[in-house]
Structure 1
Amino acid sequence: MEITDAQLHLPRPWSTWAHGDESYPSLLTEVVLAQMDAAGVDAAVLVSLPGVAPAEWCGTAAVRHPDRLAVVLTLDEAAPDIAEQVARAHEEPGVLGLRINIAFPPDALERLRAGAYEKLLTAAEHHRMPVCVLAPGALPDIARVARAHPGLPLIIDHMGLNQPPLVRADAPPWRDLGSLLALAARPNVFVKLSGAPTLSDKPYPYPDIWPHLWRILDAFGVDRSMWATDQHRVLGRLHGFDPVPRYPGYHSYAQGLHYLLDRPELSEPEKTALLGGTARRIMGWTPAPSPATGSSV
């Protein structure tokens, strides 16, 4: 089974890098690949984020490692040429989709309601380019986007819920789950199960999150659900952010995989879909051909 993480950013190294800016992105790429190797993850989608995981860094990593890394871009929706930017992104090697962030800055939701994202969304729909959406607390507004753009694949990041450590979980943590489940009625909406263990009050394998995850899987099915970790946020090691001390939902990359991989109620085909098959199908990421192992002379 090939395992694909549908969301990573880029890691902040544990030690200070004193060898110049030019080599720094290469360091981050090597760190993320080493973390994937250690956890048993074959491939991952890097989500670009200005100041945290710059598009240039993510794109370079994907071009250098096309069999293991691909990119979702965060573009400036207010750019006058945003439609042209989306068209160019659609043609860039390794770029699978776009991301919009309705959680930040604080006025993003009002701007969504005022139509500030329409040019980006329309262009993405034209190219059938998936758009990942970070919008905790705003899922009814995303439902309106899904209705207005029925040909646009929309992927809900982090199950649409507030998650530690960068923001406080809701009280109770799954309070807004009903808003996510309502989106299952829209066939162009998909969901990332990213960061789910951060909402657990129990140790690995996090039994208290499963009643909620089963509701998500029942509503969306494995063909519209995708595993992801957002592990560098979980670890509190994002570039540009101060390190985050250990917190109750902190968990390792391997734990973030095996709580689902080892779940006995899920069949092998279901795990294959959740752990990469659905993400690759929806985002159009076909595995790179294996390199030739040799030739006869």
Structure 2
Amino acid sequence: MRVIDSHLHLWDPELLDYSWLEGPYDARFAEAELERARLGAAAEEKAVFVQAGTAEDRFLDEVRWVESLAERVGVIGIVAGVRLDRGVDTTTHLDELAAQSLVVGVRHNLQDEADGLAVSTAFVTGAREVAARGWTFDACVRAAQLPDVARLAGAIPELRMVLDHLGKPEVGTADAPRTPSVEWVRDLDELSRHPEVFCKLSGLPAEAAGNWNREQLEPFLDVAADTFGVERLMWGSDWPVSAIGPAESGDPHASDDGAAAYQATARSRWLEVVVAWADARGHDVDAILWANAERFYGLGDGGRPEATESRRRGILGWLRGE
């Protein structure tokens, strides 16, 4: 089985600035940590890195840092952080990103933005520049924002867009599961009518606060398959965001007060659940795990220029101010 993880995060608070990290998230998650979270069921494993919420003035630094790690961690594409509503500043930033060989798309994280930003004149203008460069756009929104994403897709039909985390529906927990809401199903269906929009099977464990199981989440996967079709679905781990929750059985580092902890097996468990679901439904597993992400992001055979060790050390030294 081969896997392209279409939604992988990496971060290092000692190298870059992240205002949102707290609790178990406030730690380094980079090459050593990812090595311990490898997908044992995968004969071949690659990944697309998705921007991890570093400070806006460090977006380009984040790309350079990940490029320095890419060969070691198996990253073959980067979805870079960007603000698409900044006019000339947006154009300048996109021009700077064009010099980075692994950039295949961008993400302006919309989930905490005001409703309507995605269809504002400034944002649409910036998104058109993304489409003109042949890049993709990752739409990370909450369920109530899905209509705005559909309107954006209608305004720029040539923009290849992927919905992160199925639009973050309310899934409940394993102990108190929720069923797909009528509103979410309706809005997902409307978005899926735009043929250049794909959907990532990712992020649901985080929406369940790390307390999830297969039976709880399969109905949401079924809706995604029914609306988008298997040919527009791609698997993503959302690691390590979706690897935080109740401590796993036998965790020697579990807190006595039951506080959230890093779940060492969460990435592999999510893969196993999606594979089991797809196989049971007769879906094309290789398409979901590899081919669709490869096609959407234009990854080809996964080839990329090799970063030399000296270049890697130079970038890390520059980020540290050495």
Q: State the distance in 2 between where 1:260 and 1:101 align.
A: 25
Query: Which residue of the partner structure matches residue 3 of structure 1?
Result: 3
Query: Which residue of the partner structure matches residue 118 of structure 1?
Result: 124
**Correspondence 1:106-145 to 2 at 5 A:** 107=114, 109-136=115-142, 137-145=144-152
In the TM superposition, residue 45 of structure 1 has moved relative to its aligned partner by 1.3
Contact 1:11–1:232 (Cα < 8 Å) also in 2: no
Query: Which residue of the partner structure matches residue 60 of structure 1?
Result: 65
Structure 2: gaps of 5 or more residues: 17-26, 246-254, 306-322
Distance 1:126 1:62, change over 3 A: same
TM-score (norm 1): 0.76
Contact 2:119–2:151 (Cα < 8 Å) also in 1: no
Q: Does 1:217 pair with 2:217?
A: no
Among 82, 88, 100, the residue aligned to 1:92: 100
Among 33, 44, 47, the residue aligned to 2:47: 44
Contact 2:210–2:242 (Cα < 8 Å) also in 1: no
Q: Secondary structure at the match of 1:42?
A: strand
Query: Which residue of the partner structure matches residue 274 of structure 1?
Result: 288
Among 275, 282, 302, the residue aligned to 1:261: 275
Percentage identity across paired residues of the two chains: 20
Among 203, 210, 216, the residue aligned to 1:195: 203
Q: Secondary structure at the match of 1:72?
A: strand
Q: State the distance in 1 between where 2:74 and 2:204 align.
A: 23
Contact 1:194–1:230 (Cα < 8 Å) also in 2: yes
Deviations 1:47-78 (A, max 9, x none): 11342795524433334434810210111221
TM-score (norm 2): 0.70
Contact 2:168–2:207 (Cα < 8 Å) also in 1: no
Distance 1:64 1:149, change over 3 A: same
Contact 2:210–2:243 (Cα < 8 Å) also in 1: no
In the TM superposition, residue 89 of structure 1 has moved relative to its aligned partner by 2.5
Distance 1:61 1:114, change over 3 A: closer
In the TM superposition, residue 195 of structure 1 has moved relative to its aligned partner by 2.0
Contact 2:231–2:292 (Cα < 8 Å) also in 1: yes
Distance 1:188 1:290, change over 3 A: closer
Letter aligned with residue 138 of structure 2:
C
Query: Which residue of the partner structure matches residue 21 of structure 2?
Result: none
Q: Secondary structure at the match of 1:119?
A: helix
In the TM superposition, residue 44 of structure 1 has moved relative to its aligned partner by 1.3
Letter aligned with residue 29 of structure 1:
E
